[in-house]
């Protein structure tokens, strides 16, 4: 079996998680606006702290490779839920693209969950 490239695995984790890290930090800065947007589609604003924690904490966990498989599954589910709740107007081409972007990201997380984070990760160090 061919050995994976740990540098590419790390780069992939960073790139995949960067969207969520930035999104969570942006929600902190625009809390009221995000809460109002969530409410406009029927999602209780009370869930916003959990969303922010999942985005920031989940991204950090993916980047360092800690509890990677579990967090990857959680972020995959979050991505699909966000797609269904916020990007479901398929008459709007932009919303369709955003829906597919979220579904594609979920696919990346599922691949990460299936294959693990690689050697350059906290999970990888614990297995060594």
**pLDDT (0 to 100) of residue 2:** 67
Mean pLDDT of 18-32: 98
Yes or no: say if 42 and 80 are a contact pair by the CB < 8 Å rule: no
**pLDDT (0 to 100) of residue 127:** 78
| Angle, alpha carbons 63-68-71 (nearest 5°) | 100
Yes or no: say if 117 and 123 are a contact pair by the CB < 8 Å rule: yes
pLDDT tens readout for residues 56-115? 999 999 999 999 999 999 999 999 999 999 999 999 999 999 999 999 999 999 999 999
**Shortest CA distance to 63 belongs to which of 104, 17, 1, 109?**
17
């Amino acid at each position: 079996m061919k050995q994976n490239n740990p540098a590419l695995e790390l780069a992939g984790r960073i790139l995949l998680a960067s969207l969520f890290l930035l999104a969570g930090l942006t929600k902190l800065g625009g809390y009221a606006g995000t809460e109002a947007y969530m409410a406009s589609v029927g999602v209780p604003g009370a869930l916003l702290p959990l969303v922010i924690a999942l985005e920031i904490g989940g991204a950090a966990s993916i980047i360092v490779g800690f509890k990677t498989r579990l967090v990857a599954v959680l972020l995959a589910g979050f991505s699909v839920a966000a797609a269904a709740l916020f990007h479901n107007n398929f008459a709007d081409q932009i919303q369709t693209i955003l829906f597919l972007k979220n579904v594609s990201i979920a696919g990346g997380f599922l691949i990460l969950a299936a294959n693990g984070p690689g050697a350059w990760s906290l999970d990888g160090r614990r297995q060594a």
